[in-house]
Structure 1
Amino acid sequence: MKAVVVKLGGSTSREAQGPVWIAALAKAALPLVIVPGGGPFADAVRAAQADMGFSDRAAHAMAVLAMEQFAHLILDEQPVADGRPRLVGVRSFPEMQAALAAGRIPVWLPSCMALEAHDIRESWDVTSDSLAAWLAGKLTGQTLLLIKQSGDFSEGDTAVSLMQRGILDAGFAEMLPQGVELRLAGPNDAPAAASILASGRLPGVAIKSAQAVERTV
């Protein structure tokens, strides 16, 4: 079963829009897989690396675990309907497919899959945005929606322009599969997100796709 991959930025955890986005995603009428960002948990890894001097390899593993910390926050804050939470934590493709088949929304706990993947670089150039793009490719998904705590983007952007401004990480273009539609949503999209997702549509704007050019940058 194909699903839209939705990366919920970890920085939303510190903002009023965070619970709004979580509630909106839980009402989605189309199949979704939620990828958690690292947010303040990954920031703590960056600060610790600067202070303690451990390797990027160790920092990468810690940052992936930081994503899992935010995943547990998402699961903790989700609304419960009919006595059963709709969002469910998953660690593997079979668990994702089982959750989707049951009409639930998987929240990816990435450590088991991401830390064993040889095609994911152990670098700060590869953050949760790139991991969401990687997952979209593995799931043969058609759309990747990145929910940001920034509105500094428009339909005129490409992945390259967003990377240049630091809206996307430096490794994103090489991780974004051919044929996957990229969408971005920001704080201004949060108020209407619940009604949009409940109607089977996606919030935000479509970003121009130019992967063949982007991979050479």
Structure 2
Amino acid sequence: MWVVKIGGSLSHEPTLRNWLDELCEVGGGRVVIVPGGGDFADKVRQYQSEWRFDDLVAHNMCLLAMTQYAIMMQGVRPELVLASSEAKIRRALRDGHVAVWVPTALMRDTPDAMSNWDTTSDSLAAWLSTMLNAERLIVVKSCPIFEDERLETLAATGVVDRRFVDYVNDANYVVELLNKDNVALMRDRLLNMPVT
């Protein structure tokens, strides 16, 4: 199983449809999509600045932002299956579908290590990859990604969130960052993925 995190920065990019089309075509039964927060999360930042509520509130709102993006993705490709739990993800994959994670189960009543701006959908995708025992985590970004760039550098420059490196440091899965234009590369990798 692969987890493919599609950044919110693709929410206005024509390539979003390409990613969803290819994942639906070749990823059925093998791929879980993690939506970013995109514009929806940017609004949370704006409201937090305006109303001064704490990061716990912002965290819960950002999970709903990711959920909105997930629903939008399903609107673009109706065969995508929204899944809010491990059981629902596994059922969707078992039925040959591509699952889109709806992270509402991570909403919190009290602060924890996830409920801050250092932990965004990038780290949540890594957390989900660990929980699902995924084989690979692909993080799709709209900015240029250089093959030999270290994760620490990407975190320091804001390409991935500050906690991402901690989440993937001891990962038993492959971590790969791809630019939005690398959809053909992802397709080739999925087509050559061993069937388990």
* TM-score, L = length of structure 2: 0.89
2:75 corresponding residue in structure 1: 76
1:10 to 8, 11, 24: 8
* Secondary structure, counterpart of 2:68 in structure 1: helix
Aligned-residue CA RMSD (Å) = 2.0
Runs of 4+ in 1 over 6 A off after TM superposition: none
Report 1:42-81 matches (<5 A).
Answer: 42-78=41-77
> Hey, what's the Cα distance between the residues in 1 that align with 2:189 and 2:157?
28
Aligned with residue 106 of structure 1, among 90, 99, 104: 99
Change (3 A) 1:118 1:55: closer
Gaps of 5+ in 2: none
Letter in 1 for 2:12: R
Contact 2:27 2:98 in 1 (8 A): no
Alignment of 1:121-132 (within 5 A): 121-132=114-125
Aligned to 2:156: 164
Counterpart of 1:126, as a letter, is: T
Identity of aligned residues (%): 34
Stretches of structure 1 lacking an aligned partner (at least 5 in a row): 202-217
Distance 1:96-1:115 versus aligned 2 partners, 3 A rule: same
The answer to whether the 8 A contact 1:162-1:168 is kept is yes
Aligned length: 190
Shift of 1:172: 0.7
Aligned residue runs from structure 1 range 1-217, under 5 A: 3-29=1-27, 31-78=30-77, 85=79, 87-112=80-105, 114-116=106-108, 120-151=113-144, 153-176=145-168, 177-190=170-183, 192=184, 195-196=187-188, 199-200=191-192
